[in-house]
A and B are shown apart, each in its own frame.
Chain A
Amino acid sequence: MSEGAPPLASAATAARAATSHPLAIEAHGLGKRYRSARGADVSALEDVSFGIEDGEFIAVVGPSGCGKSTLLRIVAGLIPATSGAILRSGRPVVRPSAEIGIVFQSPVLLPWRTIRQNVALPLEFRGEAQDERVGSLLAMVGLDAFAERYPHELSGGMQQRAAIARALVSDPALLLMDEPFGALDAMTREQMNLEMLRIWTQRRKTVLFITHSIAESVFLADRILVMTPRPGRLAATITVDLPRPRALSVLNTERAGAYMSRIRTLLQAQGALAG
């Protein structure tokens, strides 16, 4: 476990700079300021630095409104940072790319398209032909029997699985997930967490997974970035040393419990959690 303001990035970046193999993601002192409707300057994100290795599963945990989603949108190239730099494979991120797949908080499926057509949408936008990728992804997320159904015919969990398939359809190296299971009930959510690990094991993507569930972050991630409430800063980076493959029961182990209480303590120290 490492802890401290700029935990990994500077060290890792320095080490990597010498080699020819850049990190999947490098964030250097990222900051984001908004001008609010009343003209006041609001700081959403301040001095966030970290590095992500290829194939790593990183969770970002923090209270609502700590700038987690802002961070994800900067990494995605959807919005620019107001300070600092974001590099993907050593190159600055300036715009969205086919190398990045995004899963939003809500499934954002288009109701007039079937599940298959929804999953194929990114290919259409990029002018690529629909091919067997769509079918095999639908099979992977267990929706092959629902390919020709419309979104409203599917449950919330199934809709979000379709959204994951859509994010993976361009075979991106990096998967960004913005509290993807936050709207699901607890049982479905656990199921989706297992599913998520299975998919990650099969496809070996680099994942940046945003959540406000401490248990979810410990269950899924290799490392956890703990953020402070507004303005969002990095409170700590926690390396989760739990054996893989993980079953849900791993959360009942003493070690997992220690990680969870440590994160809870960190968030409480930041005034992010009551009680």
Chain B
Amino acid sequence: MTGRSAPTDAARRRTVLVLALLGLGGGLLLWSAATDLLRVPAYVLPSPLAVGRALAAGLAHGPLDPGGFWFHAGVTVAEAAAGFVLGSVSGILAGLALAHWRLLEQLAYPYVVAFQALPKVAVAPLLVIWFGFGLEGKIVITAVMTFFPLMVNMVAGYQSVEPERLELARACNATTAQMLRKIVLPSAMPFIFAGLNVASVLAILGAIVGEFVGAESGLGTLLMQYDQAMQIAPLFAVLILLGAIGYLFNAGIRAIERRVCFWAQRAGAPEAGGL
């Protein structure tokens, strides 16, 4: 894998960037050729130019204008972020409790597995009935979806704490709260971030699913409207926007992880995405 002359980091990054741009340009050209030369109808696959125009038009509106993308993106991001925080925090707390009290884990385990196996999309309509068509319903759906990766990873993180660290805390007469805060939680941070990585993707999914079930605003509603109106170019534009939001969300989590878990870089930290 290594070249004859080891490239510097900067040179390597430049190569990656150039290759990425070439790949993107090539892909767009292929797409364009497919729509123009093969005469694919615009309601099946619009040309990249049409999608670009739709994207520009959608983004041209102000953030408070329900006719544009910013407004709906804001709603979706707000739902996703609030649900992400709610679900992650409760997932971490539940994982701590399950891992700390073995009896609780034994009692709750069957329910946890059963509920985890259940497609969360299936309970979305119920949650909308309970929590309404407003923001609350979407936040709860997102929270339910992000809860599990955090709970599962928190349990795994707790169980992977080196026993010597716990013994050290006991030898210093640490209270349970001190032990959890100063030993267990920091030790489990790489696991928690693995969970947050997964949850950051699920959060967008949760918000969109909630909007599909019933909503007045949000990118999910836009998708439904464009779909019904067979306006495929703006539909593609919204999908691109969703992809960008998901990417930025995840990149933000990773940036925080690099700061918080700086000490775990060389140690075998669990890979993100393992669920």
| CB–CB B173/A124 < 8 A | no
Q: What is the size, in residues, of chain B's interface with A at 8 Å between Cβ atoms? A: 23
- Closest Cβ of chain B to A10, distance in Å, is 29
Chain A: interface secondary structure? loop
Q: Is A150 an interface residue (CB 8 A)?
A: yes
Q: Which of B128-173 contact A (CB under 8 A)?
A: 162, 164-165, 167-173
Q: Is A78 an interface residue (CB 8 A)?
A: yes
Proximity string of chain A (102-127) to chain B, C-beta cutoff 8 Å, 1 when within and 0 when not: 10101010111000000001101110
Complex interface: stretch among B42-50, B104-112, B263-271:
B263-271
Q: Is B178 an interface residue (CB 8 A)?
A: yes
What separation, in Å, do the CA atoms of A76 and B170 have in the docked complex?
A: 10
- Closest Cβ of chain B to A163, distance in Å, is 9
Question: With A125-B178, A152-B263 in contact, do A104 and B168 touch (Cβ < 8 Å)?
Answer: yes
What separation, in Å, do the CA atoms of A78 and B171 have in the docked complex?
A: 7
What separation, in Å, do the CA atoms of A72 and B172 have in the docked complex?
A: 15
Question: Contact check: which of B167, B174, B264 meets A104 at CB < 8 Å?
Answer: B167
Q: Is A224 an interface residue (CB 8 A)?
A: no
* A-side interface size class: 20 to 34
CB-CB < 8 A to B189: which residues of A? 112
Q: Is A98 an interface residue (CB 8 A)?
A: yes
Question: With A106-B164, A108-B164, A150-B263 in contact, do A96 and B170 touch (Cβ < 8 Å)?
Answer: yes
Q: Is A100 an interface residue (CB 8 A)?
A: yes
| CB–CB B182/A124 < 8 A | yes
CB-CB < 8 A to B186: which residues of A? 110, 112
| CB–CB B263/A125 < 8 A | no
Q: Is A16 an interface residue (CB 8 A)?
A: no
CB-CB < 8 A to B183: which residues of A? 110
Q: Is A91 an interface residue (CB 8 A)?
A: no
CB-CB < 8 A to B172: which residues of A? 96, 98, 121-122, 125-126
Q: Which of A121-158 contact B (CB under 8 A)?
A: 121-122, 124-126, 150, 152
What separation, in Å, do the CA atoms of A150 and B265 have in the docked complex?
A: 13
CB-CB < 8 A to A121: which residues of B? 168, 172, 182
| CB–CB B263/A111 < 8 A | yes
Interface centre among A102, A112, A124 (most CB of B within 10 A): A112
- Closest Cβ of chain B to A159, distance in Å, is 13
- Closest Cβ of chain B to A33, distance in Å, is 20
| CB–CB B170/A78 < 8 A | yes
Q: Is A95 an interface residue (CB 8 A)?
A: yes
| B266 nearest CB neighbor, chain A only | A152
Question: With A97-B173, A125-B169 in contact, do A108 and B182 touch (Cβ < 8 Å)?
Answer: no
| CB–CB A76/B171 < 8 A | yes
Question: Contact check: which of A108, A110, A125 meets B173 at CB < 8 Å?
Answer: A125
What separation, in Å, do the CA atoms of A99 and B215 have in the docked complex?
A: 64
Question: Contact check: which of A78, A112, A125 meets B167 at CB < 8 Å?
Answer: A78
Q: Which of B164-197 contact A (CB under 8 A)?
A: 164-165, 167-175, 178, 182-183, 186-187, 189
What separation, in Å, do the CA atoms of A110 and B184 have in the docked complex?
A: 11
CB-CB < 8 A to A98: which residues of B? 172-173
By Cβ-Cβ distance, the 4 closest A-B pairs, closest first, are: A111-B263, A125-B172, A125-B174, A122-B172
- Tell me the B residues contacting A by CB distance below 8 Å: 162, 164-165, 167-175, 178, 182-183, 186-187, 189, 262-264, 266-267
Pick 10 A–B contacts, CB within 8 A, sort by A.
A96-B171, A97-B173, A106-B164, A108-B162, A110-B187, A112-B186, A112-B263, A125-B172, A125-B174, A125-B175
